[in-house]
A and B are shown apart, each in its own frame.
Chain A
Amino acid sequence: MSEWNQLTVHQCRELLERGTCSSRQLVENLIEVIHALEPNLGAYLSVDEEQALRQADAADALRRQGKTARLLGIPIAVKDVINVAGQPCTCASRILEGYRSPYDATAIARLRAEGAVFLGRTNMDEFAMGSTTENSAFHITRNPWNRECVPGGSSGGSGAAVAADEAIAALGTDTGGSVRLPASFCGCVGLKPSYGRVSRYGLTAFASSLDQIGPMTKDVRDAAILLGIMAGHDSRDSTSVAAPVPDYQAALQRDLSGMKLGLPREYFIQGLDPDVEAGVQEAIRQCERLGARIVDVSLPMTPHAVAAYYIIASAEASANLARFDGVRYGLRVKDAVDPMDMYQRTRAMGFGPEVKRRIILGTYVLSSGYHDAYYLNAQKVRTLIRRDLEQAFQACDVLLTPVAPTAAYRIGEKSQNPLQMYLGDIFAVPASLAGMCALSVPCGFTSHRLPIGLQVIGPAFCEERILRAGYAYEQTTAWHRQKPPVMAPELHLTDKNDNEL
């Protein structure tokens, strides 16, 4: 049997162009794998097989006519928080039950214009709030490397689907690490673009001043390809920046000579898992061998980043999620006696506990008497965090850090302690608050054979730098080519599998 599902985007393109396989074969192959793996994985919330096959056939027909495009016929999985015309967009929440999107997000429209096939919608923490994908209203997603472990979050479905070869590539979204964390936990590549690099139009907002759509892929080249297509100014998003989009693939080089890599000392601290630290230190040495110079830098505001992040993100979320009220779309409780009753019970029924907690936190930090002490202060601390990073980038080109203090942990391990969970975002949120770009690249395994992620943080609108560093490292290591064990034993691809998704 063929294993086209294991291909990367650039490999797919080659085979499709050569005629080795068709887009239909590719999509059928993936659907088969999805049927086989999903009962054990739960990476997807929905797969529109019919629609995907129709798109694949259309792509094949275009190719026969001699047409070509950068993603013609290549299937992409989409986190269920991004609007794709005609598809549901539940945000893994009951409150969007029955909603069908009447429009494409700008990022989707750009991928569509390049011929991408939209295979299905991946699982996530409800409204992207979480670090484990346990907060999905529908089901959990398991880590392909160890079914008892979480895949990370909030884009855990995308991370698991890519790592388990249920997708060629996927889109995630990152507000405070939601692309990088699952990429790190699942052993794939995840890129959070600089704020303003990719349009947010059509991305259901969690925290508008932080959200970015980012690619989750099997290698760095694929991340460069997808970013290159999605990036660029969009007149529908006032926060998107009109900076030219460089040729990101041209930035991919195999050496790091002349590059200065900064190690923020606040990131290598007590509480950092020794296996993770060892993996990252070894990656740093590898980079040195590739010609990079290592410099020590300091980001003194790091210990305040998580607090600032949770105040700002929750405040924005409390307003962004007010629109889910049962009036225009989605869930509404029956027999409400007046609008107040409708709001209160619909929202009580439609939102899960983590979303409620953050709405309450966000409402609180904006409320009269507390606004200045929490929200305004957090905004000022945010300024200081950005200054920290800007200063660090005077001394180095990119920063190398772990993505998270630990590798994937067991399902349920932290779900009862939200604060403990939030603290796991410590290395991810500074780049988010500062609007910088960051990449997660696989850099080894723990003693329990769970993937470790190396984070490369770059200045805003310097994605070429993080791609260059990530690519050079990746190409001289083999971590990204390792396949999770869940794939092999239970798979009987030749059997027609009638598992329900």
Chain B
Amino acid sequence: MVLDSGRDAVKTIDVPYVAHLARLTLDDKEIRDFQGQLDQIVAYVKIIQQVDVSGVEPMAHAVQIRNVFRKDEERKGLDRDVVLANAPVHDGEQFLVPKIV
């Protein structure tokens, strides 16, 4: 259990930085509210660090299945009209987004 000492020294979650990673703009009130609530939540969930998990395998799935494959066989997808009907902005053929710089 190795913590990044540089950031852990702050002792609290860096809400604006993490929000940016998650592509969320927060206003000042949100930052304040979330800071308090998340500090509390993070402090609580830290209790799992008290459990002795040495030699315990992490559990990523609730079922133990392996090698779930499909055959390389084509199946018709969605019509473009249907797909573009859901698009916020499109040009009749493609999705449009603000210019990628």
- Give residues in A with beta carbon < 8 Å to B: 98-100, 102-103, 195-196, 209-210, 235, 238-239, 241, 301, 303-304, 307-308, 310-311, 318, 322, 325-332, 336-345, 347-348, 351, 353, 356-357, 359-361, 363-365, 367-370, 372-374, 376-384, 386, 418-419, 422, 433-435, 460
Q: A102-B86, A373-B1, A383-B58 are in contact. Are A307 and B45 (CB under 8 A)?
A: yes
Shortest distance between the CB of B35 and any CB in chain A (Å): 10
Q: Do A329 and B1 have beta carbons less than 8 Å apart?
A: no
For B1, list chain A residues within 8 Å (CB). Answer: 372-373, 377
Expressed in whole angstroms, the Cα–Cα distance for A325 and B7 within the complex equals 29
For B89, list chain A residues within 8 Å (CB). Answer: 332
Shortest distance between the CB of A23 and any CB in chain B (Å): 29
For B76, list chain A residues within 8 Å (CB). Answer: none
Expressed in whole angstroms, the Cα–Cα distance for A195 and B60 within the complex equals 13
Taking A196-B63, A307-B45, A360-B38 as known contacts, 8 extra A-B pairs with beta carbons closer than 8 A to each other, sorted by chain A number, are A241-B63, A241-B65, A310-B45, A339-B100, A348-B25, A356-B34, A361-B42, A372-B2
Q: Do B86 and A419 have beta carbons less than 8 Å apart?
A: no
- Give residues in B with beta carbon < 8 Å to A: 1-4, 6-8, 13, 15, 18-26, 30, 33-34, 37-38, 40-42, 44-49, 51, 53, 56-63, 65, 68, 70, 78, 82-83, 85-89, 95, 97-101
5 A-B pairs with CB atoms under 8 Å apart are: A356-B34, A359-B22, A368-B4, A369-B3, A370-B4
Expressed in whole angstroms, the Cα–Cα distance for A338 and B85 within the complex equals 23
Q: Do A339 and B95 have beta carbons less than 8 Å apart?
A: no
For A368, list chain B residues within 8 Å (CB). Answer: 4
For B25, list chain A residues within 8 Å (CB). Answer: 344-345, 347-348
Q: Do A418 and B37 have beta carbons less than 8 Å apart?
A: yes
For A435, list chain B residues within 8 Å (CB). Answer: 62-63
Q: Which residue on chain B has the smallest CB distance to residue A420?
A: B40
For B59, list chain A residues within 8 Å (CB). Answer: 379-380, 382-383, 386
Please list the 10 inter-chain residue pairs (A to B) with the smallest Cβ-Cβ separation, ordered nearest first: A369-B4, A435-B62, A379-B58, A195-B62, A380-B53, A332-B88, A329-B86, A238-B68, A343-B23, A307-B45
Q: Do A303 and B47 have beta carbons less than 8 Å apart?
A: yes
Q: Do B48 and A419 have beta carbons less than 8 Å apart?
A: no
Partner of B62, one of A360, A377, A384, A434: A434
Count of inter-chain pairs, beta carbons less than 8 A = 191
Q: A241-B63, A380-B53 are in contact. Are A102 and B83 (CB under 8 A)?
A: yes
Partner of A357, one of B38, B44, B86: B38
Partner of A379, one of B6, B49, B60, B88: B60
For A383, list chain B residues within 8 Å (CB). Answer: 53, 56-59
Interface centre among A210, A353, A434 (most CB of B within 10 A): A353
Q: Which residue on chain A has the smallest CB distance to residue B89?
A: A332
Q: Do B82 and A102 have beta carbons less than 8 Å apart?
A: yes
Q: A364-B42, A369-B3, A372-B2 are in contact. Are A318 and B95 (CB under 8 A)?
A: no
Expressed in whole angstroms, the Cα–Cα distance for A384 and B68 within the complex equals 26
For A376, list chain B residues within 8 Å (CB). Answer: 58
Q: A311-B48, A460-B63 are in contact. Are A344 and B41 (CB under 8 A)?
A: no
Expressed in whole angstroms, the Cα–Cα distance for A363 and B21 within the complex equals 7
Q: A372-B2, A418-B37, A419-B41 are in contact. Are A196 and B78 (CB under 8 A)?
A: no
Q: Do A418 and B18 have beta carbons less than 8 Å apart?
A: no
Q: A307-B44, A327-B97, A338-B98 are in contact. Are A377 and B51 (CB under 8 A)?
A: yes
Shortest distance between the CB of B22 and any CB in chain A (Å): 4
For A341, list chain B residues within 8 Å (CB). Answer: 98
For A369, list chain B residues within 8 Å (CB). Answer: 3-4, 6-8
Shortest distance between the CB of B2 and any CB in chain A (Å): 7
Q: Do B86 and A98 have beta carbons less than 8 Å apart?
A: yes
Q: Which residue on chain A has the smallest CB distance to residue B33?
A: A353
Q: Do B53 and A311 have beta carbons less than 8 Å apart?
A: no
Expressed in whole angstroms, the Cα–Cα distance for A341 and B98 within the complex equals 9
Partner of B51, one of A331, A339, A384: A384
Q: A344-B24, A370-B4 are in contact. Are A360 and B48 (CB under 8 A)?
A: no
Q: Do B15 and A360 have beta carbons less than 8 Å apart?
A: yes
Q: Do B45 and A374 have beta carbons less than 8 Å apart?
A: yes
For A433, list chain B residues within 8 Å (CB). Answer: 62
For A196, list chain B residues within 8 Å (CB). Answer: 62-63, 65
Q: Do A328 and B22 have beta carbons less than 8 Å apart?
A: no
Partner of B99, one of A102, A338, A363, A460: A338
Q: Do A367 and B21 have beta carbons less than 8 Å apart?
A: yes
Expressed in whole angstroms, the Cα–Cα distance for A381 and B70 within the complex equals 32
Shortest distance between the CB of B88 and any CB in chain A (Å): 4
Q: Which residue on chain A has the smallest CB distance to residue B41?
A: A419
Expressed in whole angstroms, the Cα–Cα distance for A338 and B63 within the complex equals 42
For A378, list chain B residues within 8 Å (CB). Answer: 45, 48
Partner of A381, one of B4, B48, B95: B48
